[in-house]
Structure 1
Amino acid sequence: MLLKTMRENLIECGLSALREGLTTGTGGNFSACDRASGLMAITPSAIPYAEIKPENIILLDIDTGAVREGEGVPSSECDMHRIFYKYRTDLNAIIHTHTPYAATLSCFRKPLPAIHYLVAFGGLDIPCAEYATYGTVALAKNAFAAMKDRKAVLLANHGLLAGGSTLSEAYAVTEEIEFCCQIYCRAMSMTTLGDPVILPQDEMIRMIERFEDYGKRIEEHEEI
């Protein structure tokens, strides 16, 4: 079996998302790519996460989209994953979910601003891609165009797409952006307090730089 460990990791990722309320039923899709072989692995369509076996994870050729291995039908959003692997070599994992607050915010078709410094997990802000029917190449192209140099994008009237250099990073981006969407939705419901304050771009640039080596450095401090 090709890419067995990657397949197993995708199954565990889907189960974790289910446990943590980041997805429901068979919703959402998870993928990762192997640059050496030119293959991507993606969760299947219409199989509950608890029932997915490694052989159900579908392997596709990144360049052509041809199925190379796997029992079942690849996720309907396979093109939306593949377009990133084909044209953005910084991303090796993609997660698409219908998280409650990101999906709610996506219905307004507006970006998630820098309401909290954790938005920097995805970029300076999180754009919202133009609407297109799910499972279409049009949606894949809209998501790719909107995400640009970010690691996350809202899909209008749909949900959230997040990416990372690893599957664990893509999962972390999903968690943090959903948290920030929750904060923003709640803040916007408290208008009696005034408008929420958005962090300036220079602070968000600083946050992005700090997150690049997060957990790999000891903080430098001035004397207190």
Structure 2
Amino acid sequence: MSDTERKRQLVDALHKMYVAGISPGASGNASVRTEDGMWISASGLSAGEASLSNLAFIADEGKPAIDGIRPSSEWHLHQQIYRDHPRCQAIVHCHSRHATALACLRRPIPAFHYMVAVAGAAEIPCTEYAEFGTETLANSVSKNLYDVNACLMANHGQIALGDSPLTALALAQEVEELAAMYLLSLQSGEPVLLSQAEMEAVLKRFASGYGQGTSTIFNVLV
């Protein structure tokens, strides 16, 4: 895939983030891996304003160019995830309403519904809190993603990985819907959780080709 096509996919995903309402204001960001670095959304711009001309490039071991487009303040986070997780080709980070509410409670999303397995594990974890835009946050989030493709970020939001910007976005939207359902179920008490054996059965079915078997949103880590 050409660099231009990667950028087009990233812009498309950013526009869809805006339309889906999971990236309020200028709070969300997204990136795509390239052969020698990444393209990431610009700092201070709404996802709906993304264009090919206002993406920022950062080399694998580099820092943003001083005289170029200023990247999202979370560029450390994206860069660290690409370094640590070769399977990841794209990242979506957003402050979607329900996932962020759970993150502010510092609660993971447990196996209350079988679709939690869409993220690749029996639970979607919640990281420890760290200040935005820092290497501390980058390391904290990255270490939680070895066994799962999404997580909540304490008092912050959520992050999702994919094999393209659009599959990362699809997973972020699934996480948001799961967070909404979980919060709703908590209004009547603690929901009944599926057992480890029950979740393992679901994970195996997803791994063997759930749906059309073409998207890494279902490439579970078993």
Return the TM-score normalized by structure 1: 0.87
Q: Is the 8 A contact 2:84 2:142 kept in 1?
A: no
Q: Is the 8 A contact 2:82 2:88 kept in 1?
A: yes
The equivalent position to 1:106 in structure 2, one of 103, 106, 129, is 103
Q: Aligned residue for 1:220?
A: none
Take 2:180 and 2:44, find their aligned partners in 1: how far apart are those partners?
A: 28
Take 1:158 and 1:207, find their aligned partners in 2: how far apart are those partners?
A: 29
Instruction: Kindly state the Cα deviation for residue 126 of structure 1 after the two structures are TM-superposed.
Output: 0.8
| Equivalence map 1:128-147=2 (5 Å) | 128-147=126-145
Q: Which moved more, 1:46-55 or 1:80-89?
A: 46-55
Q: Percent identity?
A: 32
The unaligned stretches of length 5 or more in structure 1 are: 218-224
Deviations 1:90-141 (A, max 9, x none): 1111110001010000111121101111111112101111001100000001
Deviations 1:39-97 (A, max 9, x none): 211101012233322021111112x1334799410110011111111111111111100
Return the TM-score normalized by structure 2: 0.88
Take 1:69 and 1:9, find their aligned partners in 2: how far apart are those partners?
A: 25
Q: Is the 8 A contact 2:64 2:70 kept in 1?
A: no
| Equivalence map 1:179-218=2 (5 Å) | 179-191=177-189, 195-212=190-207, 213-216=209-212
Take 2:67 and 2:106, find their aligned partners in 1: how far apart are those partners?
A: 36
Take 1:69 and 1:150, find their aligned partners in 2: how far apart are those partners?
A: 34
Q: Is the 8 A contact 1:61 1:68 kept in 2?
A: no
Aligned Cα root-mean-square deviation (Å): 1.9
Look up the SS of the partner of 1:73 in the other structure. Answer: coil
How many positions carry a matched residue from both structures? Answer: 210
Larger Rg over CA atoms: 1
What residue identity is the alignment partner of 1:206?
A
Distance 1:90 1:103, change over 3 A: same
Distance 1:85 1:160, change over 3 A: same
| Equivalence map 1:57-72=2 (5 Å) | 57-62=55-60, 64-67=61-64, 71-72=68-69
Q: Is the 8 A contact 2:9 2:166 kept in 1?
A: no
What residue identity is the alignment partner of 1:172?
A
